[in-house]
Structure 1
Amino acid sequence: MEFGVILAGGIGKRMGNAEKPKQYLQVGGKPIIVHTVEKFIVCDEFEQIIVLCPQPWIEHTKNLLKKHIENTDRVVVIEGGETRNETVMNSIRYIEKNYGLDEETIIVTHDAVRPFLTYRIIQDNIKFARKFGACDTVIPATDTIVEAIDNEVISQIPDRSKMYQGQTPQSFNALKLKSLYEALTEEEKEILTDAAKIFVMKGEKVYLVEGETFNIKITYPYDLTVAESLLKGEK
């Protein structure tokens, strides 16, 4: 079985908006999170679409989705975790409790604030996760990447042709991800930035899915302007 997992656990400090987390800000007349859920609903492969958000926002999220989306029968809203990876693990615990986990259980995890993913990207994630067990959506780096270990002086300039910018979805065999995560030490968990790194740290392969330059993450106020322009281009 395949499950869509939409990560809406963040509060969006970089957006500078104290009133509400950024996933609830409006773009094109609808909250960002609604646009994202709509992209998942059109994929019939998903047994269920699991939206994870801060506990105080659960009822608000449910009400928003019911207001803007005609059929939410396959959508459930549950509490996220204290970290990104704990949020992902909460989705796996939910699946295990309600459906059970086996070698065929796939999760497609995606940022709630990336509303411009495509049907093709989702389908490729499902296909690669089924075939390989783990995949990450990326685009080739267009700018030179500079490494500065001390955050002051350049220590290395990697070959740009081998560099990629990570996006989401990231998709996994859920049983494998659960096993790898539970084997991590507390020190290892502290340095994690996303679930794909769990596989890399444990020597497991993560395959690349081709993303899109417009599959942006809405992080800063400027991104809202870009998002409005992209929505106008979709019409």
Structure 2
Amino acid sequence: MIFGAILAGGVGSRMNISDMPKQFLPLGDKPIIIHTLEKFIMCERFDEIYVGVHPNWIGHMGDLIYKHIKVNKERIHVVEGGSDRNSTIMNIIHEIEKDYGESEEHYIITHDSVRPFVSARIINENIDNVLKYRACDTVIPATDTIVTSLDGEKISEIPNRAWMYQGQTPQSFQINLLKKWYSELTEEEKCILTDACKIGVVRGGDVHLVRGEVSNLKITTVPDYKIAQAMIGGNLID
């Protein structure tokens, strides 16, 4: 079975324009997270879709689904998110296995709730690649020179840009493989490794690449929000 997983466990907003988490801010005529969820609902290859939300916002998420989602509501499950990205994924996996048991044939396609412009191609290529390779990450080639600095004051290294990519989502995994990688982490690593694909890299696993798109924007800052509103023809909130 193939499961979609929308990660919406955060409660903070670095944009300082609202007291609600940024995934619930309006984008055009509906919240950001609804745009994202609709992209997953349109993909018929998902057996079920899980949304991991902070406990304080589960009721609100349910109300949004009732109001905005017109078809296939029965495929959507709202569950409690965790304290960070990876614990939210693990909470979703726990709920999946409560509902459908464990299986080597279970795969999860995880996606940021604040990447509402993910394309059908990206989703389908994640599904194709995770079925083939068991783990994959969505990336775009780095267009700017990447500079590393160990002290934040002077350049430590300028890597070859030809090898550099910017990570996006979805990040997709065979569920049992991701559980194995996660179980092998120390508690310290679990607190530090906030990126799911880095878990695989640290554990020495192979994570294959899926070509992303510049338009697959993550809305994190006010400039991101302005760009997203321009892309969809909406207005900023007051």
Q: In the aligned structure 1, how far is the partner of 2:82 from the partner of 2:10? A: 10
Gaps of 5+ in 1: none
When the two structures are aligned, how many residues end up with a matched partner? 233
Question: What residue in structure 1 maps to residue 56 of structure 2?
Answer: 56
Greater displacement, 146-155 / 30-39? 146-155
Quote the offset at 1:218 in angstroms.
0.4
1:170 aligns with 2:171: yes
Greater displacement, 85-94 / 6-15? 6-15
Question: What residue in structure 2 maps to residue 25 of structure 1?
Answer: 25
TM-score, length basis structure 2: 0.95
Alignment identity in percent? 55
Q: Where do 4+ consecutive residues of structure 1 move more than 2 Å?
A: none
Question: What residue in structure 2 maps to residue 35 of structure 1?
Answer: 35
1:196 aligns with 2:197: yes
Quote the offset at 1:52 in angstroms.
0.6
Q: In the aligned structure 2, how far is the partner of 1:156 from the partner of 1:102? A: 44
> Is the 2:13–2:20 Cα contact (8 Å) retained in structure 1?
no
TM-score, length basis structure 1: 0.96
Quote the offset at 1:20 in angstroms.
0.3
Q: Root-mean-square deviation (CA), in Å?
A: 1.2
Question: What residue in structure 1 maps to residue 94 of structure 2?
Answer: 93
Quote the offset at 1:186 in angstroms.
1.1
Cα shift readout 1:192-223 (whole Å, capped 9, x = no counterpart): 02110110001001000000001000011121
> Is the 1:12–1:219 Cα contact (8 Å) retained in structure 2?
no
> Is the 2:84–2:194 Cα contact (8 Å) retained in structure 1?
no
1:46 partner amino acid:
F
Q: In the aligned structure 2, how far is the partner of 1:30 from the partner of 1:225? A: 15
1:103 aligns with 2:104: yes
Q: Secondary structure at the match of 1:37?
A: helix
Gaps of 5+ in 2: none
Q: In the aligned structure 2, how far is the partner of 1:209 from the partner of 1:12? A: 29
